[in-house]
Amino acid sequence: MKIHEYQARNLFRKYGIPVPDGVVCHSVEEVEKNVPGDDKLRVVKAQVHVGGRGKAGGVKLAKTKAEAVEKAGQILGMDIKGLTVEKVLVADAVDIEKEFYVGLINDRNTKSVTLMASAEGGVEIEEVARVSPEKIIKMSIDPTMGLMDWQARKIALQLFSDPKEMRQAAAILVKLYRLYVETDSSLAEINPLVLTPDKRVMAIDGKMNFDDNALFRQPEILKMREATEDEKKEIEANEKGLSYIKLDGNIGCMVNGAGLAMATMDMIKLYGGEPANFLDIGGSSSPQKVVEAMNILLSDTNVNAVMINIFGGITRCDDVARGLVTALKEIDTDIPVVIRLSGTNAKEGLEIIREFGLPTVSTMSEAAQKAIELSRG
């Protein structure tokens, strides 16, 4: 689960990491009403679940309140990497002497949390990692010990030479680690962490992700969930026992089993198509589940062909076929559907589909090619 910058800032504040004050506004009127009337330097920031907002024009400085209102008007409604800006953070701006990067992630290789830091702050860390990976300092943290003060100082010393600045940064690292562990986070980034001309070290941006599988024990974090329309669909699918992830292509996939779902996506890609989603309907042949899965698939307006790929193991293909027929009778759509059934009772299953009047194919590659062809109209 992702949260917005303003929410990350609230968590930072709670854990004692210095952050400038700010207010979240959903409209220009709210900026008028909630931002104090004094004319000080502020920064108006799009609150969307993607990075690189600055480059996209979603972060603007404002010298007066009137200017903050104006900039908010420009940013609200803006499209940033496919996401519409529905709220802005209007925060006190700070003067920046230098920008740094600090972050924590779960590292599967070392099976521990990795602390990353860089004096190349402000730019996207992926970019630093690509161009000059040697500029990123990394340290694995022993989960039984946590981040010890001396380790935090050791990292901070590589970014700051002045002891007073170094100590502020080290304290921030220790707090960020505590926050990370206590909230079951999977990513916590401060980019940039800044040094001000009056030698204060503070966070002026924050990004945090959380482990979905831990949300059941993180009610305070779960309350912060502000799902986008796509995420809402994924959550809804999940509640119905389907694993659904929306992608950007146009071929809807309905598959039983996660491995087969991935293989199906690969197959579509192999033949030059683009899958619209990952969708695992699980092991049952329940028509209801198929109807729900189809409805979710077809609610994506990019979808213009559907590939159903079923492998019958314990689930029998004829059962699945009956489920599909019941479901397809119920769903009113002119989007073409290609069905591939293989495995237990495939012959009987294909017969049922053929009787219903839908084309069938017996191999996955055939199905992928047929779906791509149909998607091109």
Contacts of 339 (CB under 8 A, 6+ apart): 308, 310, 324, 353, 358, 359, 360, 361, 367
- Please identify which residue in 4, 53, 322, 340 interacts with ligand GDP, judged by CB under 6 A: 53
Is there a catalytic annotation at residue 274? no
The residues near 377 (Cβ < 8 Å, ≥ 6 apart) are 304
**Partner from ligand GDP, Mn ion, none contacting 96, C-beta within 5 to 8 A by type:** ligand GDP
- Determine the interface stretch with ligand GDP among 43-51, 70-78, 212-220, 331-339 (rule: CB under 6 A): 43-51
CA distance 286 to 277: 21
Q: How many angstroms separate the CA atoms of 165 and 198, rounded?
A: 11
Question: In the structure encoding, which two tokens stand for residue 286, read together?
Answer: 């329940």
How many whole angstroms separate alpha carbon 185 and alpha carbon 179? 8
Q: Which stretch binds Mn ion (CB under 5 A): 113-121, 184-192, 231-239, 321-329?
A: 184-192
Whole-angstrom distance between the N-terminal and C-terminal Cα of the chain? Answer: 37
Stretch that binds ligand GDP, among 53-61, 143-151, 174-182, 359-367 (CB under 6 A): 53-61
Q: Which does 94 bind (CB under 5 to 8 A by kind): ligand GDP, Mn ion, none?
A: ligand GDP
Binding residue for ligand GDP (CB under 6 A) from 30, 99, 165, 292? 99
Nearer to ligand GDP, 191 or 309 (CB): 191
**What character string, x for contact with Mn ion (CB under 5 A) and - otherwise, covers 195-234?**
----------x-----------------------------
103 forms part of the interface with ligand GDP (CB under 6 A)? no
Q: Which two structure tokens, joined as six digits, stand for 246?
A: 């929306």
DSSP state string for 272-334: T--BSEEEE-TT---HHHHHHHHHHHHTSTT--EEEEEEEESSS-HHHHHHHHHHHHHH----
* Contact flag: residue 43 with ligand GDP (CB under 6 A): yes
Query: Which amino acid appears at position 27 of this protein?
Result: S
Tell me the per-residue interface mask from 112 to 141 with ligand GDP, x by CB under 6 A, - otherwise: ----------x-------------------
**# binding residues, ligand GDP (CB under 6 A):** 16
271 among known catalytic residues: no
- 5, 120, 189, 292: the active-site residue: 189
Side chain identity at 108, as an amino acid letter?
R
- Which of 120, 205, 292, 318 lies at the binding interface for ligand GDP (CB under 6 A)? 205
Q: Please say which residue, 45 or 322, places its beta carbon nearer to ligand GDP.
A: 45
The CA distance from 320 to 290, in Å, is 9
Q: CA-to-CA distance for 272 and 266, rounded, in angstroms?
A: 10
272: left (phi over 0), alpha (psi -120 to 50) or beta: left
59 binds ligand GDP (CB under 6 A): yes
Strands 185-195 and 98-107: antiparallel
Residues near Mn ion, by CB under 5 A? 191, 205
Which residues form the catalytic set?
Answer: 101, 189
Give the binding site for ligand GDP (CB under 6 A).
43, 45, 51-54, 59, 93-94, 96, 99, 122, 191-192, 204-205
